[in-house]
Chain A
């Protein structure tokens, strides 16, 4: 159910995005920072699912809040003649890598455990056979 909704959302978004008009180039830097913020939230959400402390409210507020906040900060930086968006990108991408590392560790652990369990099972079975 959830997976279907996600895939449907992605496909619909891609179709509507390809049909919609192109935004002016000056605003594309805002959109790009918003995309990076949203991607960061998505990876953060996956990591929190892995950790087991996933909260939908935090996830959603992070998704939209981070995007809007990063756009606002970029705008402010432009007004102040400071490249704040660089700091935002560094933070977001850094967090993305941390979250990816958490996800990777979780799955590698799971995989290793599975292999060891299989081995143990085999050994137990062999032991059982030997005792018989």
Chain B
């Protein structure tokens, strides 16, 4: 009789504990998945933290890559100094890197600075005096048309697979965020580039007319430095057709 009673108590308490712990776990899961303000800020903080961590990691790796590339360069020079055929290969390599935008360039050209207009001076549509991604395409296009040899916007090199995307109040170039003021540097004939950009009725003319702060400088000395492209070219799906 007593043994039976004990079994009964055990079963009852077990079911009770089952309900209690199941309820607690379901509640925890629900609260975690729902977007309460507390949960939201916590998730946001975690995301921000992880972004920062990844950024730091990326920078470290990038530095390491640069170091290794320098080592590779010095090794190449060492090995090519003895053999004539290697010298040809090295110069070819340099040429290809130049074409791909994988080398830092110095030269003369123009520097264009774009900044959002002052809202107190203009009335009407705000989007008129803000620099948009479309403005950057037009300027890059104009520069390419006039024979610019290398272009960079805020330190981001414009290469064959560069994308310029609107991202709210910033613009993504090569997947990196850039913001006002946009400094566009281009290497090429200073007078030619300057003349074609500032032509009355040209794109910059209209941009200035709408209220954007535009400044175009002609730089005659070889002081414009254009950084190398720090992305990767990937050809996964494409193969060379014979």
Contact = CB atoms under 8 A, between A and B. Distances in A.
B233 interface: no
Interface string A60-98: 100100000000000000000000000000000000000
* Consensus secondary structure, chain A interface: helix
Contact of B20 (A13, A25, A60): A13
A130 interface: no
A63 B33 CA distance: 28
Contact of A60 (B6, B10, B12): B12
A38 B23 contact: yes
Given A35-B20, A63-B16, A13 B30 contact: no
B32 to A, nearest CB: 9
Interface string B1-40: 0000011011111111111111111110111011010000
Contacts of A22: 26, 29-30, 33
* Consensus secondary structure, chain B interface: helix
A100 interface: no
A17 B45 CA distance: 28
A101 B31 CA distance: 30
Interface string A1-42: 110111111111110111010110100100110110011001
Contacts of A56: 9, 12
A42 to B, nearest CB: 7
A1 B9 CA distance: 10
Contacts of A13: 17-23, 25
Given A1-B10, A2-B10, A5-B10, A31 B17 contact: no
Given A22-B30, A23-B30, A35-B27, A17 B12 contact: no
A9 B25 contact: no
B13 A9 contact: yes
A41 to B, nearest CB: 9
Given A5-B14, A32-B27, 13 more contacts: A2-B6, A2-B13, A8-B14, A9-B17, A9-B18, A10-B20, A13-B23, A17-B29, A31-B23, A38-B20, A38-B23, A60-B16, A63-B16
B6 A17 contact: no
Nearest to B32: A22
A23 B6 CA distance: 35
Contact of B26 (A6, A23, A42): A23
A12 B17 CA distance: 9
A13 B13 CA distance: 12
10 contacts: A2-B10, A5-B13, A9-B18, A10-B18, A12-B21, A17-B22, A23-B30, A25-B30, A31-B23, A42-B16
B20 to A, nearest CB: 5
A14 B28 CA distance: 11
Nearest to A32: B27
Contacts of A12: 18, 21
A8 B19 CA distance: 12
B120 to A, nearest CB: 45
Contacts of A1: 6-7, 10
A9 B6 CA distance: 16
A17 B23 contact: yes
B125 to A, nearest CB: 40
B27 A6 contact: no
Interface string A32-59: 1011001100100000000000001000
